[in-house]
Amino acid sequence: MVIEALPEGRDVVLRGNNFDTTLTADAVPGLSPCIISFTEAGLRENAEKFVHMDMVSQPFRPLGSAVIG
């Protein structure tokens, strides 16, 4: 499903689980970079909610990342 959603000319998907980092992404192409912040504490606190969420994975172009903390 995610592969089919990639923009024309892209055929690679990078996946990762690092919950102590900040990611800059092109989540809304052409509008503005988006900064996404993850925390391990937030993951632990909300893991049960996440398991029951109804969501679909979406691809986006990463612009960079930096470890925080």
3-10 average pLDDT score: 76
59-64 average pLDDT score: 78
Contacts of 10 (CB under 8 A, 6+ apart): 59, 61
Confidence of residue 49 (pLDDT cuts 50, 70, 90): very high
pLDDT for 16 beyond 70? no
Angle made by CA atoms 37, 40, 41, in degrees to the nearest 5:
105
Return mean pLDDT, the chain. 79
Angle made by CA atoms 44, 18, 61, in degrees to the nearest 5:
125
Q: Do you know the residue count of the chain?
A: 69
Count the domains in the chain: 1
Which residues form the domain of 27?
Answer: 3-67
3-state secondary structure of 63: strand
27-40 average pLDDT score: 84
3-state secondary structure of 26: strand
- Whether the predicted model's global pTM rises above the 0.85 cut: no
